[in-house]
Amino acid sequence: MFTLRPTYGEDFVDREELLVEMVEALSSPRERMGFALVGRRRMGKTSVFLEVVRRLDENPRVIPVYLSLWDLVEGTLGELAQSLVRETLERFQERGRLPLTVRARNLLSAPLDLLREVLDGVRISVRLRREIEILLLFSRGEERPSAADFLERAVLFPENLARETGVRCVLFLDEFPTLMEVKHAGQALGEGAVRKLRTLYERIEHTVLSISGSMRGTMEAVALSPAAAFWRQFVVREVGPLPKPAVDTLLSRNLGQRVPAEALEALWEFTHGIPFYVQFLGRELARLGGKVTAEAVAQAGEEFLREEGDLLFREEWTHLAPKERKVAMALAQGHSAPTAIAQAVGDTPNVVSRYLLYLEKKGLAERSGRGDWVLTDPVLARWLARQGL
Ligand SMILES: Nc1ncnc2c1ncn2[C@@H]1O[C@H](COP(=O)(O)OP(=O)(O)OP(=O)(O)O)[C@@H](O)[C@H]1O
Ligand SMILES: [Mg+2]
């Protein structure tokens, strides 16, 4: 059925070429290169990772571990390390490579004595057992390591476990650039953490890393630009909108009826193939029931903007600088050349051009043709236009 959560398995549509490429490369023992997925919000990056994880799980020599840096609550290095260790232990346990007598998830909150007792019964080296203990002490704040030491031990943990159990670990770090904002001892790790990771990565043989990011600017800073630490360390792939036939498939399948060309056109006009919006409108159409028509699509779109627009866009919007907002609003109202925008907001084209570049870095605006600008998200544009400022 329609869902707003990342999807995989039967509900996943399209992107077959990318999936095949990723699964092949990531499970090949000789291939050292992972992937960097770049794509705006809600395009389906997480879904691609989860579907690749699902397929990799069928290979007995490969254990995928998925972690999203957006799932951190406190955003500390301790929390990140603990999540990494927990997910790694759990996945290795699930895949039968780590015969623990208790759920790995529970192990990390157990008292140290109990942890030792459980680990004693498992066939892993003393050194690795000791590493788990140390990481536990670190993440509970019982010992206070430097950020570099902490990061090193956390990252080498899946590597060492993979080596000892004779598998390849495929690590997915979703929303990777957020690493720079993770805090240790009250300070953000910054780019230093990315460089540290890059150095560690050279010593790693049994783990291959793949990353994703929603913001072009921060992805440039960590991987895409020549000055970035992970420059040329990944196969870079863009996750964009779904093609029209895939949107058709998704809708007809989930609604259990053929979607007439006219309605599909209306849906395309609204969503531009961005999977999140397709799912949302699909859900709304399913709720409305009856035949899918262009009018029903328009109604579903209206409903969406009224009920969800605020929830979805308000936060991002309030985080923009006042002048960025003015420029974005002018774009939403259909002004597309810097001179026209400048007139609309009462500023000079020079200033406007600078703010357009800020918006571009944040992934909100893009150049459509020669000198022409548009908001990248058609639904955000509609929502803004409705605010009627
Ligand atoms: N290939 C696909 N087939 C069907 N639905 C999809 C596909 N990819 C994504 N979706 C849907 O689109 C929405 C967004 O997907 P997902 O969370 O994977 O995107 P994302 O790029 O990781 O988004 P975010 O920026 O919020 O992290 C979800 O509702 C998901 O179910
Ligand atoms: Mg995501």
Q: Which atom of ligand 1 is nearest to the CA of 214?
A: 25
How confident is the model at residue 388, as a pLDDT?
66
How confident is the model at residue 116, as a pLDDT?
87
For ligand 1, atom 26, the nearest C-alpha belongs to 42
How confident is the model at residue 36, as a pLDDT?
98
Co-location of 175 and 80 in the same domain: yes
Co-location of 229 and 279 in the same domain: no
Q: Which residue has the tokens 């699909």?
A: 282
Co-location of 248 and 374 in the same domain: no
Co-location of 250 and 222 in the same domain: no
Q: Are 298 and 382 in contact (CB under 8 A)?
A: no
State the helix-helix crossing angle for 147-165 and 126-139, rounded to 10 degrees: 150
Pocket residues for ligand 1 (CB within 6 Å)?
A: 3-7, 11-15, 39, 41-47, 214, 250, 275-276, 279
Q: Which ligand is nearest to the CA of 316?
A: 1
Judging by DSSP bridges, how do beta strands 234-238 and 34-38 pair with one another? parallel
How confident is the model at residue 100, as a pLDDT?
84
Site to probe by mutation for ligand 1, drawn from 12, 16, 42, 278 as the one with most ligand atoms within 8 Å of Cβ, is: 42
Q: How far is the CA of 194 from the centre of ligand 1 (A)?
A: 26
Question: Domain limits at 372?
Answer: 322-387
249 located within any domain: yes
Residue ranges of the chain with pLDDT lower than 70? 388-389
Q: How far is the CA of 44 from the centre of ligand 2 (A)?
A: 7
Co-location of 255 and 352 in the same domain: no
How confident is the model at residue 335, as a pLDDT?
95
Q: How far is the CA of 43 from the centre of ligand 2 (A)?
A: 8
Q: Token digits for 269?
A: 């006009």
Q: Which atom of ligand 1 is nearest to the CA of 274?
A: 12
Co-location of 224 and 265 in the same domain: no
Report the domain count for the chain.
Answer: 3
How confident is the model at residue 192, as a pLDDT?
94
Q: What burial class does residue 363 get, using C-beta atoms within 10 Å of its C-beta: 0-12 exposed, 13-18 middle, 19+ buried?
A: buried
User: Last residue of a domain, which of 298, 316, 334?
Assistant: 316
Q: How far is the CA of 104 from the centre of ligand 1 (A)?
A: 29
1 located within any domain: no
Q: Which atom of ligand 1 is nearest to the CA of 7?
A: 31
Residue 169, helix vs strand vs coil: strand
Co-location of 286 and 203 in the same domain: no
Co-location of 310 and 328 in the same domain: no
